[in-house]
Amino acid sequence: MRLIKTTGYLTFLASALVSAQSHAETEQAWDFNFHGTINTHAVYVSCDDSGGSVAGNALLCSGDDATSVSNGYSPASFQFSAATQRNGFDINVVLAIEPGTTDNSAFNGNGDNKAYRAFFTVGNSEFGTLKAGRDYGIFGLDVVLEDMALGGVGATASIRSPLNTSLGAAGYGYIFSDRLSQITYSKSFDNGLLADIGIFQALDSVSFGGNGYVGDSGSERPGVHGRLKYTFSNGYISSSFYNQSVDTVDDDYSASGIDLTAALQFDNTRLAISAFDASGLGYYGLLIDSADVTGTPRDSSGWFTQITHKLGATKLGFNYGVSKVDLAGVDTLAQVKKQTKASLGVYHTLWEIYTVSGELSSMEAKSHQGVTIKNEAISVGMAISF
Residue 242 near residue 90, CB atoms below 8 Å: no
Q: What is the pLDDT of residue 106?
A: 60
Rounded to whole angstroms, the Cα distance separating 64 from 79 reads 39
The pLDDT confidence band at residue 16, using thresholds 50, 70 and 90, is very low
Rounded to whole angstroms, the Cα distance separating 339 from 285 reads 14
CA angle at residue 297 from 293 to 302, to 5 degrees? 115
CA 26 to chain CA mean position, Å: 36
Rounded to whole angstroms, the Cα distance separating 18 from 24 reads 10
For residue 372, CA distances in Å to 58, 302, 367 come to 14, 18, 7
Q: What is the pLDDT of residue 115?
A: 80
Q: Model confidence over 360-382: pLDDT tens digits?
A: 999 999 999 999 999 999 999 99
Q: What is the DSSP letter of 150?
A: G
Q: Is 81 exposed, middle or buried (0-12, 13-18, 19+ CB in 10 A)?
A: middle
pLDDT-above-90 percentage for the chain: 72
- Give me the helices (H) in 137-246, please: 141-146
Q: What is the pLDDT of residue 101?
A: 77
Residue 13 pLDDT > 60, yes or no? no
The pLDDT confidence band at residue 160, using thresholds 50, 70 and 90, is confident
Q: Model confidence over 17-42: pLDDT tens digits?
A: 444 444 444 457 999 999 999 999 99
Average pLDDT, rounded, for the chain:
89
Q: Which domains does the chain have, with CATH numbers?
A: 38-73+109-114+137-385 (2.40.160.10)
